[in-house]
Structure 1
Amino acid sequence: MPPNQAPLEITLELCGTQSPETLYPFPWKKQRYLARCTPGRSIPVELRWSTLREQLKTLLRVTPGSRDLKRLSETLRGFLQPAEWILAEEKIRYALKIGQPVHITVCSNNADELYYLPWELLPTNFNGQPLVGEKNYLLRYECKDRPIRDPVASTQGRILFAWSEAGGGVPKDGHLDELRAACAAARFPFIEEEDVLEHVSPRRLAEKLSETARPVTALHLLCHGSKVDDDAYGLVFDPSEEGDEPERLDQWQLANLLFLSSNGSPLRLVTLCACQGGDSGMPAHPLGSIARMFHVQGVPAVIASRMPLTCAGSTTLTRALYQSLLVQQEDLCTALSSARKQLQREHSSSSDWLSLQFYAPAESPAALTPFSALPAIPTAPAARGDLVLICHESLKQTHVTPTDADAPELFAQRHVRPKILIDQYQAIGERRWENLEQEVARLAARNGALWTAFAERDTEILYYGFPYVPLAMLAGYLADSRPVHVLEHDRMRQRFTWQTDTVAAHPPLEVVTRHGETGSAARVRVSISNEVRPEDCAQVLPDSDIRLDLHFQLTAPERGVVRREAQLLEYAQTIRQIIDRNIGGKPEFTSIHVFAAVPVSIAFHLGRALAYTGLPECFAYNYNADDAPRYKWCLSLKAAKAANPEQPSITLFPSPSQGSNANHG
């Protein structure tokens, strides 16, 4: 083979034909797709998931039978056969014959369930064996909707070995021995006092990954996988607070903890040595897998196990991987191939060789060489996506606009577009509630300014202003998982900004839970700026309707208490986790009613938390001390997003003297 011969690149583009909302919980029935083996054409194909279901169960065994694996292999090839897969097979056969590397990328659009399938078993017609057994073959998964985030360049690579036995014993000594040996042989800096994180908790991991003096470029994480809420697979960590229970985090929780910065991450490689690190729990699960989360967050190379991973196998993987990457200075195509072969040879009774799953972008050769120097940085600063400022007014008007002095990292080297002003003050300011319905419709319109900004890619969005709390929640609800920056108004400095003194402590957000014996409503009270009093809530939502009351509170609520972005994100994460844990996916709850005395930033993130599809219909209530009742109106987030003229999103409550016929779930 000529040196540095370009690989044969084939992409399996798989497109769903149904709305994702219809696939969760997954129906396990025949589904139709469009499949394309590049550079071919898209062909209709179908997959009988009812038949696949029993076959996939075999992967949960420590040692799947050869017959079962062969059936799965044949099913995958049969699925692609109508899409002219045989033409690709011929190209693959020739490439492997001459020693040319073969890279196959599985890329799905609107069909996340297809990432659940073990494409590592995909065979060819010339020998019927899985392609992953070939020396120069690489199978990778790519999510096309992932944000493009190049890793932050660093002068020296650094491996962080983090482990936790919170879920049970792990072969930490074996992994450390292999890492130590590979680094020593390659003369790669590995300072155990700094680069080994024992009994790792989520908080300590986040702190370590945020270090800038010696940025971590490769994370080797050894812990146990575990089912978390809603049947998703997550990871088990040591508790952040001594004496607490082990922390089980799903991908959404982990992403919110580890990827807070908008400036990208120095991580270039993540190796997850945990059972089911690449398993989403079920096809089309909204959360996806932990491995996919790191990929979507922009880590160029992610290695995980989609099945149970043996302790001995994980140690062999560690040895093979880092000997190849560091000592032999080979790329990940060769390193993964070598690791699979060693796993097959040394642990033939397990499925560890098959279990390895690799996420990486096809258009990034640097993803395959995580310990090589990144391409030279251009002398001119690289262009960054435009910054879009969204100013939202309804409670009152704004008189200042954020500048680079208020958020230096966000504004740096960006073109700042003219701000988008969503002026609702003229229509509904000063308690002009008769215009609420039409203003909600305008805010949530698919062709409106907010939706248009959220739908645009390759931009950064900064949201600020003085909207009513329910309308800020609606903005967050519509943004859903779209990254949006929020600035809070500093009343002392009369600016929209965050304080940057990171050492200052902030008051903890406490949670009080009360269960009722009647009703089907969950009431969520958030007392951050002021106390939310139950008697005010009861004027519009009788206590007899409440099966669960969640009260998030500060010991001393006050306006302006949320001063730092880290504080905002911590509070938002606490609220989301508790809501998901207590309400998500539980049929006894038919509605959520949110009474929040919070700043705009918290309201926006609260709306994002309520966008989770496992929650029932959510209502956000607006407080005004001059109204009677004080919670004069509420907004259905679901109805507002649906924008159905026959289904109003606003409920206006009559004054006590008029009586009430309001019905909102």
Structure 2
Amino acid sequence: MSPTDHPLEITLEFSCRKDGFAWKRKTYLVKTASGELDSVSLSWSKFRSDLESLRSAMPGSAVVERLGRRLRKLIRPTGWAQDEAVITDAIRVGRPVHLTVRADNADEIFNLPWEMLQLRGGGSIGTLSGCLVQYECGSSVPRDPLPHPTGRILFAYSKAGGSWVPYEAHLEVIQEACQLSGLHFDPTEDVLYGVTRKTLSEKLTAETDRPITVLHLLCHGSRLDDSEGSAYGLALDPVDALETEPDVVDATRLRAMLFASPRNALRFVMLFSCQGGDSGTPAHSVESVARMFHRQGVPAVIASRLPLSCPGSTVLAQALYQSLLVNKENLRTALSVARKRLLAEERSFDWISLQFYARAKDEAALFPFSEPPLRSKAAATMPDLMLIRHEAYSRAHGMPTAEDAPALFANRHVRPLITFDQASALSERRWENLAPEVARLASRDGVLRRAFDERDTDILYFGFPYVSFAVLAGYLAKTRPVHVIDYDRARGRFAWNQVVKDPAPLLKVECVSKKRGSAARVRLSLSAKVQSQACEAVLSASDVRLDLHFMLEDPSRGIVNRESQLMEYAHDIREAIDKHLAGNSEFKSVHVFAAVPVSIAFHLGRALAATGLPECFVYNYDAQDTPAYKWRLSLQAASTGRPAITVFPL
């Protein structure tokens, strides 16, 4: 198994005061994978109508889109931007991603369909190949797992509460998969026809040499209303054969029946019923059936939070058994295959309704019929970390360590430091050396491009380059994942602040357009205010058709101090450039005037590397020069080996 096969584990952990639930605004603390703890405010009233729409058989794509955007907006104030960037990089190289949603005193969070969470670009994370969204709730139930999985399946079904369930099709799927895989399955012993609460309890709690490890339960779901709102249970056959009404069993009764003893062999539960997952009123005292099984220690539980169609349930069963038993794949792959088949073959919304309960980093849960594959020591480690120190504006002393970026350095082999020194040639503003130094920086055989071209490594870029040089470095990196870290002047180190939890200052975007001119001017006022008068000394105002200005209310040096803040700003900058500049034939050139830290400059270069942009010039500012923007660099010219520097006369 290569490092790219080792899953990227990302967690979103919600907590709040235990003060009950109401359809109104509520504040939560959110802990992301970066370890940062941030506060978010969730207006439940805005989610209510869409969550209720999900209960219908065909909620519509508009509901999915709205919920996806609202979930993204909800966690935007947290360190999610940093996590999302890592997720995007992992998806790009084919690395699996596990997103685990946890809650402490906040069970209502499980009612939010996190599979619909929109990533940058608009795709729902739960629909992407290789991405697994799982839910985890706390459990104090002691587990006494079997030393080796036996893989005995119990198929239990009931038609109560409805006219029909596709039990024959499900039974055929199980028998065929067991026959192909060699797993013993006896229809006389391993099937409960017309299951009741009594027969289910007796079967699962019986002492036997063949303990049941997998429960396949097919039945109708049934809504239960009370003073708290609504919850959902399972419609089973009545114990008394003379009764005609279904026996609706909720999670509370199932828990009492099935988990009276801590000894339980169940490893995997599949609930083929409507609303077996988290639906109904959020944080209802009666939890969902799926969450109950998980809280009682079952490692893996699959259910549907929406109405589940009968044809869709059969497709789901086929995909799960084919992947898990026949192809010997894990549940991440099985669920991905199931979603794709449901989307392609069924008109229903079964593809987005699947909810999976499992604990973070519990690899055994993903292999309910076998032991997880052995990992070599090399496979469990992260790729090598390559450090590149870029010096041009001045020399940089020291380099980041595990103390400065713990998550980045964890389980890494750190290669010897690479220093790209341009300060020697450019000190004392020797602009005659600019052209050869830019050519050296952008050379296809140079240090930087060779590093960017190397596969299976991670890169950390830092130092004191000119802003235009850092923009060029990002431009050359294009979509290659690169970590960037800024200099913390208060600590005298290249480090991100691990302590600050206050919300980052809002990055404002102003766009002013005119009907004349052919140039787009981009100003970034983060470290200092970029004055339009200074820009006009080298770029005539009459040439500017559009002025795109990114600004902070109180710009200052060192204001970008967290990686999550960097990634959020980088995302906003890229979106604005894509919206206002990319593909617009009115612009013949783009002119960048940036007062930004190195990290923002690098990500700005990546944004400018997008296709559909005309020639981009980055201007260098120095108050000692006349004009203050003494020279500029053409990104396209530099990257293709053409003359790229223009020095302006006095």
Larger displacement relative to structure 2 (303-312 or 176-185):
176-185
Compared with structure 1, are the counterparts of its residues 345 and 5 closer, same or farther at alpha carbon in structure 2 (3 Å cutoff)? same
Residue 197 of structure 2: aligned partner: 202
The residue aligned with 1:295 is 294
Please say if 1:228 is aligned against 2:227.
no
User: CA separation in 1, counterparts of 2:142 and 2:180?
Assistant: 34
Is 1:61 the counterpart of 2:59? The answer is no
Q: Corresponding residue for 1:275?
A: 274
Structure 1 residue 121 corresponds to structure 2 residue 116: yes
The Cα shift of 1:363 comes to 3.6
- Structure 1 match to 2:283: 284
CA 1:54 to 1:242, structure 2 compared with 1: closer, same or farther past 3 Å?
A: same
CA distance in 1, matches of 2:176, 2:3: 29
Q: Which residue of 2 aligns with 1:516?
A: none
1:70 paired to 2:39: no
CA distance in 2, matches of 1:146, 1:364: 16
1:279 is displaced (CA, Å) by: 2.6
Q: Matches of 1:233 and 1:67 in 2, distance apart?
A: 25
**Residues in 2 aligned to 1:215 and 1:158: alpha-carbon distance in whole angstroms:** 7
| SS of aligned partner of 1:340 | helix
1:351: how far off?
0.8
Residues in 2 aligned to 1:266 and 1:9: alpha-carbon distance in whole angstroms: 27
Instruction: Report deviation, 1:6.
Output: 1.5
Whole-Å separation in 1 of the counterparts to 2:48 and 2:200 = 36
Which aligned pairs between 1:612-623 and structure 2 lie closer than 5 A?
Answer: none
Match in the other structure for 1:6: 6
2:353 counterpart residue number: 355
* C-alpha distance after superposition, 1:332-356 (max 9, x if no partner): 0110111011100101x21101110
Q: How does 1:481-630 map to 2 (within 5 A)?
A: none
Percentage of identical aligned residues: 49
SS of structure 2 residue aligned to 1:213: coil
Relative distance call for 1:36 and 1:277 in structure 2 (3 A) is same
Task: Give the equivalent residue in structure 2 for 1:453.
Answer: none
Distance 1:209 1:113 in 2: 30
Deviates more, 1:338-347 or 1:58-67: 58-67
2:176 is the alignment partner of 1:177 = no
- Per the alignment, residue 368 of structure 2 pairs with 370
**C-alpha deviation, 1:84, in angstroms:** 2.0
Once the two structures are superposed, the pairs formed by residues 134-533 of structure 1 within 5 Å of their partners are 134-153=128-147, 156-168=150-162, 169-211=164-206, 212-230=208-226, 231-244=230-243, 245-262=245-262, 264-347=263-346, 349-373=347-371
Counterpart position of 1:634: none
Instruction: Indicate the SS of the match to 2:276.
Output: coil
Residues 199-229 of structure 1: per-residue CA shift (max 9 Å, x gap):
0001101111123221111000000110125
The one-letter code sitting in structure 1 at the alignment partner of 2:79 is E
Distance in 1, Cα, partners of 2:113 & 2:210: 37
Aligned to 2:413: none
How many Å apart are 1:196 and its aligned residue?
1.2
Cα distance in 1 for residues equivalent to 2:74 and 2:364: 32
Q: How much has 1:193 moved relative to structure 2? A: 1.0
2:518 corresponds in structure 1 to none
Q: Is the 8 A contact 1:158 1:215 kept in 2?
A: yes
CA distance in 2, matches of 1:121, 1:84: 19
> What letter is aligned with 2:289?
I
Letter paired with 1:372: S
TM-superposition CA deviations, 1:368-408 (whole Å, max 9, x none): 100013899xxxxxxxxxxxxxxxxxxxxxxxxxxxxxxxx
TM-score by length of 2: 0.55
Instruction: Look up the SS of the partner of 1:215 in the other structure.
Output: coil
Q: Could you tell me whether the CA contact under 8 Å between 1:151 and 1:299 is conserved in 2? A: no
How far apart are 1:190 and its partner, in Å?
A: 1.1
Match of 1:103 in 2: 98
Q: CA deviation at 1:5?
A: 2.5
Q: Secondary structure at the match of 1:272?
A: strand
In 2, Cα distance between equivalents of 1:338 and 1:301 = 17
Amino acid at match of 2:173: E
SS for the counterpart of 2:189 is helix
1:246-296: CA deviations, max 9, x gaps?
21111000110011112x211100000000000342011111100000000
| Cα deviations by residue, 1:62-83 (Å, 9 ceiling, x for unpaired) | 1222122111100000000000
Say which SS state the counterpart of residue 160 (structure 1) adopts.
strand
Deviation of 1:3 after TM superposition, in Å, equals 7.2
Letter in 2 for 1:365: E
Q: Secondary structure at the match of 1:193?
A: coil
| C-alpha spacing 1:259/1:208, structure 2 compared with 1 (3 Å) | same
Tell me the equivalent position of 2:38. Answer: 43
The CA distance in 2 between the partners of 1:137 and 1:375, in whole Å, is 19
SS at structure 2 position matched to 1:228: strand
Superimposed CA distance per residue, residues 538-585 of structure 1 (whole angstroms, 9 cap, x where no aligned partner): xxxxxxxxxxxxxxxxxxxxxxxxxxxxxxxxxxxxxxxxxxxxxxxx
| Alignment RMSD (CA, Å) | 1.7
Deviation at 1:145, TM superposition (A): 3.9
- Quote the Cα distance in structure 1 between the aligned partners of 2:183 and 2:34: 41
Alignment check: 8 A CA contact 2:279 2:306 kept: no
In structure 2, C-alpha distance between the alignment counterparts of 1:54 and 1:335, rounded to whole Å: 32
Q: Is the 8 A contact 1:366 1:374 kept in 2?
A: yes
When residues 350 and 341 of structure 1 are mapped into structure 2, their CA distance, relative to the original with a 3 A threshold, is same
Q: Deviations over 1:640-662 (max 9, x none)?
A: xxxxxxxxxxxxxxxxxxxxxxx
Judged with a 3 Å threshold, the aligned counterparts in structure 2 of structure 1 residues 375 and 95 are, in CA distance, closer, same or farther, namely closer
Cα deviation, residue 364, structure 1: 1.9
Partner of 1:504: none
What is the deviation of 1:154?
A: 5.0
Give the structure 1 partner of residue 382 of structure 2. none
Counterpart for residue 15 of structure 2 = 15
Residues 340 and 150 (structure 1), Cα distance of their counterparts in 2 relative to 1, 3 Å cut: farther
Partner SS state of residue 286, structure 2: coil
Is the contact made by 2:291 and 2:357 (CA closer than 8 Å) also made in structure 1? yes
In structure 2, distance between residues paired with 1:155 and 1:2: 26
Contact 1:325 1:335 in 2 (8 A): yes
| One-letter code aligned to 1:370 | P
Q: Answer yes or no: is the 8 Å Cα contact 2:267–2:298 preserved in 1.
A: yes
Higher relative contact order (Cα pairs below 8 Å, separated by 6+ residues): 2
Give CA deviations for 1:291-321 in whole Å, capped at 9, x if unaligned: 0000001100000000000000000000000
Q: Relative to structure 1, is the Cα distance of residues 374 and 75 closer, same or farther in structure 2, using a 3 angstrom cutoff?
A: closer
- Cα distance in 1 for partners of 2:367, 2:211 equals 17
The CA distance in 2 between the partners of 1:14 and 1:150, in whole Å, is 28
How far apart are the structure 2 equivalents of 1:117 and 1:311?
24
Answer whether contact 1:159 1:190 (CA < 8 A) is retained: yes
Structure 2 contact 232–280 (Cα < 8 Å) conserved:
yes
Aligned counterparts of 1:358 and 1:146: Cα–Cα separation in 2: 20
Query: Which position in structure 1 is the counterpart of 2:401?
Result: none
Q: In structure 2, what residue type is equivalent to 1:234? A: G
